Amino acid sequence: MGMETSHRVRYLPKVKRELINPCYIIVWRDPFAISTRVARAGEKIPDAIEIALRIQEQNLKFMRQTVAPFLMVSYEKAIGDPVTFAREVAEFVGGHMPADLDELMEFTRPGSYKKAKEIGPLPDDAQ
């Protein structure tokens, strides 16, 4: 199961009983990158920075509360070096790197968004 939006971390405690041997990959964004995106949506810069820091705090809180293994990843570093990122993820989940890296490079190219499989509706308070 994967969730792109950072506020979904609040949803995980609600579903953890359904997960068997979970492990988490927590992707950190540069707070300036987050606040720039939020500001483009109409927030003032100081408010946008505060929102970005709250998002990071939610990730940190989740990490402190979970007993499952987790891998922390920098989004900016991952897109800058997708092969190293994929190698770290493969090692973390016990998988293997593909022999042909072309598909991997295309999959990780910024702007090539992939929709996740539908996992069912989220509880109202998790949206």
How does pLDDT run across 38-95, given as a tens digit for each residue? 888 888 888 888 888 888 888 888 888 888 899 999 988 988 898 999 899 999 999 9
User: How many beta carbons lie within 10 A of that of residue 97, not counting itself?
Assistant: 13
HSE of 89, CA atoms in CB hemisphere, 13 A: 18
CA 94 – CA 96 distance, rounded (Å): 7
CA 80 – CA 66 distance, rounded (Å): 28
- Cα 12 to its chain centre, rounded Å, is 12
Overall pTM > 0.75: no
Q: Which residues sit opposite 24 in a β-bridge?
A: 70
Of the pLDDT bands very low, low, confident and very high (cuts 50, 70, 90), residue 1 is very low
Residue 119 and residue 96 in contact, taking contact as beta carbons nearer than 8 Å: no
Confidence (pLDDT) at 8: 66
**pLDDT surpasses 50 at 127:** no
> What is the DSSP track for 27-95?
EE--HHHHHHHHHHTT--HHHHHHHHHHHHHHHHHHHHH--S-EEEEEHHHHHHSHHHHHHHHHHHHT-
Closest by CA to 27, choosing from 66, 59, 1, 67, is 59
Judged by average pLDDT, the poorest of 5-19, 32-46, 52-66, 110-124 is 110-124
